[in-house]
Structure formats: structure tokens, C-alpha cells
């Protein structure tokens, strides 16, 4: 059985995926997870879940390419450059 282990580094922080372990049952999984992700004080808590218990989602449909839903669709760098150029032209015209 494959178990996925998540660890929390400090109280209040989000859990992050630590790694996967192979173990015959949950009890062994707990022991191995403690050993690999908790023994050196590197975690305040662990979550262990059988891989099958996780519900993966891997398909994200975007048939109409609606990239305006995404924050990265807005090219701020180019726009800033243009604005700077306009500003400096305007400043030169003033003189």
C-alpha cells in the first residue's frame, strides 16, 4: 500500500506534501512516517492517507481559451514600459 504523508512545519501553517511511503498497513505507515518526517523535530504534525483516499483532479477544461480568468493574462511589464516611455516623451515635449 502506498500512503501519502503531509507535514506541518509549524502550528498554524498549511500542511504540505512530504512524500510517499510504502507500508503493509496504516500502523506500519504511521511508524515509518514518524521515522522519516518527524524524528528530527522537523514537523509539528503529520497527516497520513492511503493514496486511494485522495481524489485527484487532473483535467481542467478551457475550451474557449478564457485566459482573462487568469491573473497571469495581464502583461503588466509591457504596459509599464509603454507608460514610462509616454511619460518621458511628455516630459521632453514640455521643455
Partner 1 sequence: MSERAELLLGIADDELVLGWRDSEWTGIAPFLEEDVAFSSIAQNEIGHARALYELAAQELGTTADELAFDRQPEEYRCCRLVELRLPDWEHTIARHWLYEEADAARLERLKASDDPEVAGLAEKIDREEVYHRMHAQMWFDRLKDEPRFVAAVDELRPLIDVRDGHSPELTELWEQMTEVRRSQPAGTTW
Q: Which residues bind partner 1 (CB under 8 A)?
A: 21-24, 27-28, 31-32, 34-36, 39
Least Å from the CB of residue 39 to partner 1: 7
What is the chain's alpha carbon radius of gyration, rounded to the nearest angstrom? 25
Of the pair 27, 65, the CB lying nearest partner 1 is at 27
Q: What are phi and psi of 45, to 5 degrees?
A: -155, 155
Least Å from the CB of residue 55 to partner 1: 25
Taking CA 61 as the corner, what is the angle to CA 57 and CA 66, rounded to the nearest 5 degrees?
135
Of the pair 41, 75, the CB lying nearest partner 1 is at 41
* Residue 55 burial class via C-beta count within 10 angstroms: exposed 0-12, middle 13-18, buried 19 and up: exposed
Of the pair 35, 42, the CB lying nearest partner 1 is at 35
Least Å from the CB of residue 25 to partner 1: 8
Amino acid at each position: 500500500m502506498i500512503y501519502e504523508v503531509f507535514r506541518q512545519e509549524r502550528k498554524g501553517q498549511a500542511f504540505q506534501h512530504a512524500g510517499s511511503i510504502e507500508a503493509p498497513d496504516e500502523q506500519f505507515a504511521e511508524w515509518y512516517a514518524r521515522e522519516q518526517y518527524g524524528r528530527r523535530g522537523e514537523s509539528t504534525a503529520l497527516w497520513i492517507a492511503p493514496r486511494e483516499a485522495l481524489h485527484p483532479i487532473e483535467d481542467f477544461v478551457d475550451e474557449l481559451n478564457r485566459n482573462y480568468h487568469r491573473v497571469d493574462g495581464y502583461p503588466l511589464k509591457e504596459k509599464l514600459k509603454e507608460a514610462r516611455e509616454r511619460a518621458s516623451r511628455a516630459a521632453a515635449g514640455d521643455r
